[in-house]
Amino acid sequence: MIGRKVFYEGRVQGVGFRFTVKALARGYEVLGWVRNLEDGRVELQVTGEREEVEAFLEAVAESELKSHIKGTQNLPIPPLTGVRGFEILR
């Protein structure tokens, strides 16, 4: 199990970013959450088997959101605990 924290920069708020990420997560065996940040970025934290996490993050990067993403910061974190499913945090 691995964990990743990813920050997305660009026009990533107000375009359905979080809802698209949540929908994409249904296709992978991953747990985590996504939320808007006050500085205009979106933060995603995800955990799962390495192959699932990497495939999920690649799916986000290649989705219809691609044109809105101008930069990412992908950081390793310890696997998330106490998380069930994938959700949008407010």
Residue 34 included in any domain: yes
18 is annotated as an active-site residue:
yes
For residue 86, being part of any structural domain is answered with: no
CATH code for the domain of 42: 3.30.70.100
Residue tagged active-site, from 36, 50, 84, 90: 36
Question: Among residues 4, 18, 26, 50, which one is catalytic?
Answer: 18
pTM of the model: 0.93
pLDDT-based confidence at residue 90 (cuts at 50, 70, 90): confident
Residue 62 lies in a domain: yes
Domain hosting 46: range is 2-77
- Residue 41 CA to residue 52 CA, distance in Å, equals 24
Q: Which two tokens stand for residue 56?
A: 């999920």
Hey, is 33 helix, strand or coil? strand
* Span 29-87, pLDDT tens digits: 999 999 999 999 999 999 999 999 999 999 999 999 999 999 999 999 999 999 999 99
Determine, yes or no, domain membership for 18: yes
**50 catalytic, yes or no?**
no
If one counts the domains in the chain, the total is 1
